[in-house]
């Protein structure tokens, strides 16, 4: 199993990997990739939002995961602009953190601004006391882990939530 693979790989990329690892892994080689879903409201009072809608929004991206770069890259490709607030992995948010996040969000000079976070961080942020104004524009992006076998052009075999 090769983890953190791109969800789509060219035939040449797959052949190269198979050639490099065939002696070590003589059987099927499987890949695990992350696929991002549509943004969902962090709180019940949030409005629906699609990934296509992000191109009209300025995003404050809040992460507390081990490697936020792939997520940042994905959001940057889809949003009008992105500012980030990065915390360490498994960060326990404090009231001071929420104040800092709210201040950064308020400093974004746009009528179309949102706070966006990971599904993992959403669980911890939902437990915090957040203003109604901030809650209305707060979203998270769910992920799926996709497992696929070499020589498949699209990751479709197994989807884990």
- Helix ranges, 28-131 (H): 69-78, 95-106, 119-125
Closest alpha carbon to 113 in 103, 100, 128: 103
C-alpha 53/C-alpha 122 separation (Å) is 20
pLDDT given at position 153: 43
C-alpha 159/C-alpha 161 separation (Å) is 7
- Helix ranges, 22-154 (H): 69-78, 95-106, 119-125, 132-136
**What is the residue-level pLDDT of the chain in tens, covering all 161 positions?**
778 777 777 878 878 888 888 888 777 788 888 899 999 999 998 888 999 999 999 999 999 999 999 999 999 999 999 999 999 999 999 999 999 999 999 999 999 999 999 999 999 999 999 999 999 999 999 999 888 876 544 444 455 44
Task: Give this prediction's pTM.
Answer: 0.82
């Amino acid at each position: 199993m090769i983890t953190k693979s791109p969800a789509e790989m060219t035939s040449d990329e797959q052949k190269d990997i198979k050639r490099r690892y065939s002696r070590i892994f003589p059987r099927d080689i499987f890949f695990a990739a992350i696929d991002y879903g549509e943004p969902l409201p962090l709180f019940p009072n949030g409005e629906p939002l699609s990934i296509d809608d992000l191109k009209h929004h300025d995003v404050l991206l809040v992460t507390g995961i081990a490697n936020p770069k792939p997520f940042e890259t994905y959001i940057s490709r889809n949003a009008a602009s992105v500012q980030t607030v990065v915390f360490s992995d498994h960060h326990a948010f404090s009231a001071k953190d929420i104040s800092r996040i709210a201040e950064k969000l308020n400093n974004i000079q746009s009528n179309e601004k949102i706070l966006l976070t990971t599904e993992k961080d959403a669980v911890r942020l939902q437990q915090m006391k957040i203003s109604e104004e901030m809650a209305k524009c707060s979203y998270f992006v769910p992920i799926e882990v996709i497992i696929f076998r070499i020589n498949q052009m699209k990751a479709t075999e197994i989807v884990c939530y």
